[in-house]
Amino acid sequence: MNPGLAEQAAAWRRDGKTIALANGLFDILHVGHLRYLEAAALEADILVVAVNSDRSARELKGAGRPLVPERERVELLAGFRCVDHAVVFDGATVGEVLEALRPDVHCKGTDYSPKTVPERGVAERLGIRIAIVGDTKRHATRDMVARIRGDQS
């Protein structure tokens, strides 16, 4: 994670801004990603998006992933109107980013519940609210990849 992000977060707080953190792989962007991030942006004044590194993406999704390199995924997300800052993280979870950034709210998609958020313990310890946001999970990159490859199963 960018070491300057913690300092930037402190500046946002000094300006009276609240911070939300959303995270994900964001390999092939689709409308579900946009809806998730737009909903996350409504939870605070500033939205920071943490993007899985290429290495962590391979660990999570297997060989052949990600399809889009981390720098390009970050650049695309940073271009979304609702995203204020995008950063790469290298862990299996975004717990380390929560520790460094200390956002007011940690946003996860609707494929989670407050009890299944992997970083729940870190968020609770730091007093970070968890928000489940976005539309019902009907869009998935893995499904798009399967269609592109011709897998109809």
d(CA 35, CA 126): 27
Tokens of residue 96, six digits: 């380390």
Amino acid at position 112, single letter: Y
Per residue in 71-129, pLDDT (tens digit) is 999 999 999 999 999 999 999 899 999 999 999 999 999 999 999 999 999 999 999 99
CA distance 48 to 147: 31
CA–CA gap between residue 129 and residue 126 (Å, rounded): 9
pLDDT at 71 (0 to 100): 97
Whether the predicted model's global pTM rises above the 0.75 cut: yes
Tokens in use for 5?
């992000």
- pLDDT, tens digit (0-9, with 9 covering 90-100), for 13-38: 999 999 999 999 999 999 999 999 99
Domain 4-149 has what CATH class?
A: alpha beta
